[in-house]
Chains A and B, each alone.
Chain A
Amino acid sequence: MFESLSQRLERAFKNLRGQGKLTEKNMKDSLREIRMALLEADVNYKVVKQFIEDVQAAAVGQNVLESIQPGQQIVKIVHDELIRVMGGANEPLRFADAPPTVIMLVGLQGQGKTTTAGKLALHLKKKGHRPLLVGADVYRPAAIRQLEVVAQQAGVESFSLGEQADPVDTCLMSRGEAQMRNCDVILLDTAGRLHVNEEMMAEVRRIHAQMKPHEILFVANAMTGQDAVNSARQFNEALPLTGVILTQMDGDARGGAAISLTHVTGRPIKFVGTGEKLDALDAFHPSRMADQILGMGDIVSLVEKAQETVDQEKALAFQEKARKANWDLEDFLGQMQQLKKMGSISDLVTKIPGMSKMMGSAGMDLEEDEFRHMEAIILSMTPKERHNPKIINGSRRRRIADGSGMALQDVNRLLKDFEQTRKMMKSMMKGKGPLGRAKGKRGKLPKGVGPFPGM
């Protein structure tokens, strides 16, 4: 997600690393790099200015001459400052003391409100709630129909008075509907609107006044540029926003909007959208996001996700194998199958410390299809070949290629990648190599659950 920003900052810190000591001059260089990186990442100009001032103030206040590793010191300061701007600890959704809880989604057009409403509904359903999705977008053609389909896909209730009705009435009526259908959460999907459209802003204020939502979530897209501050500020002035949902985090936007939005609204990002499927909604953790921005990976999120879907014992066995470096293609296949259960591969990859850097430099792009292809190739191997890939000679390669319907080059590439990955993993498990930096982080993990080697 944030590869480029991470790379940029890493380069900035590299300049410091060689120096040994922090001087005013070399810190200036790094700060300029950080400033450029943040601007390139679409963090708002004024927010960057403030951010750099704060970082500088924090750094100058410390006894820089005593610093043994100035690079690490700056990393820490920037990291802390990013967390501070993004709003401290993760804030869960607020629920009403007496149901129904009312959650309202607002934002500009095309941010993904309707899809997010469906994702949120599914998320709530999984937590044991009974959400009612309410279609209050009477402007975009077929928006209400879209919400109905999404509700069906999520297996939750939906309600709307239709496109002819006043959306305020639809919202009002939803209370009775929720009671009748025994729903404890009302999720209002409002129309996308421009913050400068006074009529539309008045409408959303009317809905707010009538419904008194417990959560008013501003839905914004991670690709948003400098203007994020303008729209967020005006929505925040019109409505008491309680949080932000950042969508389309599965792209390659550097996501500086995350920093701009939280800075302007003073409200935390509560969720991030990470894909088109309805289960692609993750809780937002500023600390992990800061880790990620700094290229430190998001190993905690990964582990949490793994715990939900992956067979713990198998994972343990993999890790054991990995440590002993007798990890083979059979294990690799098993892991791929487990990983597939966990959602988007590319999303997962960015969560592994150091991985984003490697992926960036290698220009690799892991997609679900590639996984299917790799699976097909491995499945066309004999068990013996899977356990000992070294025996796979030219004629075996041809047979495997034919058997899997893939080209010979694909088979060659897989074998080569596998060997490299195995080597990488070996060093990973010893805490060396590209992932060595994550060592401290790994200490905090639940016992027995490790990072997913090789993925």
Chain B
Amino acid sequence: MTQANKGFLGRLREQLGKTRSNLVDNVKRVFSGHTQINDDVYDELEEILVEADFGVELSLALVDEMRTAVRQRRLQNPDELYAVLKEELVAALEPGDHTLRFAADGGPHVTLVVGVNGSGKTTTIGKLASHLKQQGKTVMLAAADTFRAAAVEQLTIWSERVDIPIIRHQDGADPAAVAFDATDAAIARGIDCLLIDTAGRLHTKVNLMEELRKIQRVIGKRYPEAPHDVLLVLDATTGQNGLQQAKVFTEALNVTGLIVTKLDGTAKGGVAVAIQRQLGIPIKYIGVGEGVEDLQPFSAVDYVEAIFT
């Protein structure tokens, strides 16, 4: 672990340490409770992975990979198996671009933030805005959730907290128009980063998904490269439906990354690993609390460490 990562990892551990999570205890039990690798170890490993929301399919696949690794590498004890598992998971999480894709032409970097209801989009935007501002960037928010009661007010309060401008219309206004105006304003004012909040929507609502496509299209009309990033916000407590969410959102939009929120609870967000593996969508940030500072850039090694240590 490098020095630079220590703060992040420390924070994550601290959050995870609020209660001794089941997973940690389980892992310890499996890997230190057995002196050799037998079927019990594999069974318990399966249980741990399933309970971390990796999904049955991925859990079984991982266990199979472990069996193969044990055979091929002639592993003797559970500790070695544990190291291989961590390697596998890091390898699964690492591919892809885990940072924002800042505009090459110096124009504003436009990020569209999407997700199902209650995943934490607005809070994440507030935290992300603060994070970007701390990096010395000028940031602007766009309140394109014109549907949910008081969503615009919620984002406005965040803009006041972080002390950055916000573009907003009336409740019930066309969200694509808000996005267009905001893109326009960001260009005119020479803003570095524009973060666009959208209404939460279930991926099964065809019309609402079409609305998102329209928003993406309309932004592109004003600024052909934009949006540079489309971030899907995923609640870490989500089960296997997360995979379906990611699939449908990816089909509708050019999703460039995931933000996994609420990792400060006891949920492990294993479905994000399934999403990365199956759809190749990298995690860009993780949310570990409600404070402004509780959004962390993603690191595969730290993520896996935080799950298992």
Cβ of B55 < 8 Å from any Cβ of A? yes
In the complex, chain A residues whose CB is within 8 Å of the CB of B236:
227
**Known A-B contacts A40-B240, A112-B118; A226 and B149 likewise in contact (beta carbons under 8 Å):** no
B57's nearest neighbour on chain A, judged by CB, is: A40
B52 CB–A CB distance under 8 Å: yes
Chain A residues with CB below 8 A from B153, complex form: 141-142, 145-146
Q: Which of B22, B149, B235, B238 contacts A149 (CB 8 A)?
A: B149
Interface assignment of B51: CB less than 8 Å from any CB of chain A: yes
Nearest residue (CB) in A for B119 is: A110
- Secondary structure of the A contact surface, majority rule: loop
Which of B236, B245, B265 lies at the interface centre, i.e. has the most chain A CB atoms within 10 A of its CB? B265
Assuming A227-B237, A230-B266, A248-B117, what are 10 further A-B pairs, CB within 8 angstroms?
A46-B51, A110-B235, A139-B290, A141-B153, A196-B264, A196-B265, A223-B116, A225-B237, A226-B50, A252-B244
A208 within 8 A of B: no
Minimum C-beta distance from B113 to chain A (A): 14
Given the contacts A42-B241, A140-B154, A195-B266, A369 and B206 also touching, CB distance less than 8 Å = yes
Give per-residue flags for A218-248: 1 if the beta carbon is below 8 A from chain B beta carbons, else 0: 0001011111101100000000000000001
Closest chain B residue to A222, Cβ basis: B241
Chain B residues with CB under 8 A of A228:
237
Q: Offer 18 A-B interface pairs, CB within 8 angstroms, sorted by A.
A: A40-B55, A40-B240, A46-B51, A109-B118, A141-B154, A142-B153, A146-B149, A194-B262, A195-B266, A196-B18, A196-B264, A225-B237, A226-B50, A226-B239, A227-B53, A227-B266, A251-B204, A276-B147
User: Which residues from chain B contact A143 at a C-beta distance below 8 Å?
Assistant: 150, 154
With contacts A45-B47, A230-B266, A251-B204 known, is A146 near B148, CB below 8 A?
Answer: yes
> Quick one: which of A126-181 are within 8 Å of B by CB?
139-143, 145-146, 148-150, 153
Query: Are A251's CB and B116's CB within 8 A?
Result: yes
Bound complex: CA A143 to CA B244 (Å): 29
Residues of A within 8 A of B245 (CB): 223
Bound-state CA distance A368–B157 (Å) is 34
Give Cα A122–Cα B236 distance, bound, in whole angstroms: 31
State how many angstroms separate the Cβ of B30 from the closest Cβ of chain A: 14
Within 8 A of A (CB), among B92-150: 116-120, 123, 147-150
Number of A-B contacts (CB under 8 A): 152
Task: Please report the C-alpha to C-alpha distance between residue A230 and residue B157 in the assembled complex, in whole angstroms.
Answer: 32
CB of B279 within 8 Å of the partner chain = no
Q: Say if the beta carbon of A6 comes within 8 Å of chain B.
A: no
Interface centre among A46, A139, A230 (most CB of B within 10 A): A230
B214 at interface, CB cutoff 8 A: no
A45 to B268, CA, bound (A): 14
Please name the residue on chain A nearest to B17 by beta carbon.
Answer: A196
Give which listed residue, B123, B150, B206, B267, contacts A225 with CB less than 8 A.
Answer: B267
Contact A44/B51 with A141-B154, A197-B18 known, Cβ cut-off 8 Å: yes
A256 on interface, CB distance cutoff 8 Å = yes
- Check if B19 is an interface residue, CB within 8 A of chain A: yes
* B271: Cβ under 8 A from any A Cβ: yes
A262 interface residue (CB < 8 Å to B)? no
Q: Which A residues are CB-close (under 8 A) to B268?
A: 227
Query: Are A196 and B19 touching (Cβ within 8 A)?
Result: yes
A146 to B157, CA, bound (A): 13
Which chain B positions have C-beta within 8 A of A335?
none
Q: Is the CB of B239 within 8 A of A223?
A: yes
Which residues B144-181 have CB closer than 8 A to chain A?
147-151, 153-154, 156-158, 161
Would B204 and A224 count as touching, CB distance under 8 A?
no
Residues of A within 8 A of B117 (CB): 110, 112, 248, 276
Instruction: Give the residues in chain B near A339, CB-CB below 8 Å.
Output: none
User: A42, B239: Cβ atoms under 8 Å?
Assistant: yes
A261 within 8 A of B: no
- A140–B118 Cα distance when bound, in Å, is 12
Q: Cβ of B149 and Cβ of A231 under 8 Å apart?
A: no
Q: Does A365 contact B (CB under 8 A)?
A: yes
| B205 lies within 8 A of chain A by Cβ | yes
Determine the distance from Cα of A149 to Cα of B148 in the docked complex, in whole angstroms. Answer: 10
User: Taking the nearest CB of chain B, how far is it from the CB of A444, in angstroms?
Assistant: 30
Q: Is B242 an interface residue (CB 8 A)?
A: yes
- Give the contacting residue for A111; candidates B51, B118, B203; CB below 8 A: B118
Residue picked from A148, A225, A250, A346, most chain B C-beta under 10 Å: A225
Q: Is A39 an interface residue (CB 8 A)?
A: yes
Q: Name the interface residues of A249-274: CB closer than 8 Å to any CB of B.
A: 250-254, 256-257
Closest to A227 in B: B267
Asked if B202 is at the interface of the complex by the 8 Å CB criterion, the answer is yes
CB distance from B190 to the nearest CB of A (A): 28
Q: Measured between C-beta atoms, what is the minimum distance from B197 to chain A in Å?
A: 12
Chain B residues near A250: list those with CB within 8 A.
202, 204
In the complex with contacts A110-B117, A142-B154, A231-B237 CB distance below 8 A: yes
Q: Which of A150, A223, A227 contacts B149 (CB 8 A)?
A: A150
A196 to B288, CA, bound (A): 13
**Does chain B have a CB within 8 A of A333?**
no
Contact partners of B244 in chain A: CB under 8 A: 252-253
Interface pairs A-B: 6 shortest CB-CB: A225-B239, A110-B118, A42-B239, A149-B149, A141-B157, A146-B150
Q: Is B56 an interface residue (CB 8 A)?
A: yes
Q: Which residue of the partner chain B has the closest CB to A192?
A: B118
Given contacts A195-B265, A223-B242, contact A369 B207 (CB under 8 A): yes
CA distance A102 to B270 in the complex (A): 38
How far is it, in angstroms, between the C-alpha of A253 and the C-alpha of B235 when the chains are bound? 14
